[in-house]
Amino acid sequence: MADNLLGLYAGVGVGESQIRSDDPAYGYPAYYNDYQTAWKGFIGIRPIPMLGLEASYIDFGQPGNYNYYSDVNYYGTDSHPTAPALFAVGYLPIPIPYFDLFAKAGAARLRTNVNVVSCSAPNPATCVNGYDVSISRQAITDTKFAYGGGVQAKLPFVGLSFRAEYERIASGYGDPDALMVSAIWTF
């Protein structure tokens, strides 16, 4: 680790995300709030003890179809947000060895794939069989503000660390966020 002047590290994480929609899609209600399994991969540098830079890819998971019924109309939506992100990471100087508190802020290229299914049938079960079914797909991509924070514990003399962190991306379509546990290898 003495040769790692930039403090290069890489890691993977898994946790729970919250995916919500605050916006009607295609005129249908698309308001929902769902919890999914999320994962991420990241790489970063920490050239000085109090400051670092981190690039990550976050997959917030995909909720199942949300089904709505109205007389003879059936419709549903789901979304799948993913994002590459770049963060500046600030570490709080605390006098506890092998332990860090950190906050991060940056930008994420949030891509949300939205699927909308609609069907007019006297029985919603017939929609599965293709009775007047219409499927619309749309990918919404935008660069958004991202932020987070957490705690990190380092194992002495090994180069392995563990993190618990929260990340959120500000979005007009529902602010996906995740609470994750990660393993990190410092080179």
**Residue 60 confidence class, pLDDT cut points 50, 70, 90:** very high
What's the pTM?
A: 0.80
CATH 1.20.58 assigned to 9-61+83-109+143-180: no
Structure token pair of residue 156: 């002495």
pLDDT of res. 24: 52
**pLDDT above 60 for 47:** yes
Dist CA 22 CA 136 (whole Å)? 19
Angle at 14 between CA 100 and CA 181, to 5 degrees: 20
Of residues 112 and 146, the one with the higher pLDDT is 146
Q: Is-contact 169 160, C-beta < 8 A?
A: no
Tokens 């392995």 belong to residue: 160
**Residue 113 confidence class, pLDDT cut points 50, 70, 90:** confident
pLDDT of res. 126: 58
Of residues 126 and 184, the one with the higher pLDDT is 184
pLDDT of res. 28: 45
Dist CA 151 CA 140 (whole Å)? 32
- The sign of the CA dihedral 91, 7, 150, 106 is positive
**Residue 77 confidence class, pLDDT cut points 50, 70, 90:** low
Identify residue 78 by its one-letter amino acid code: D
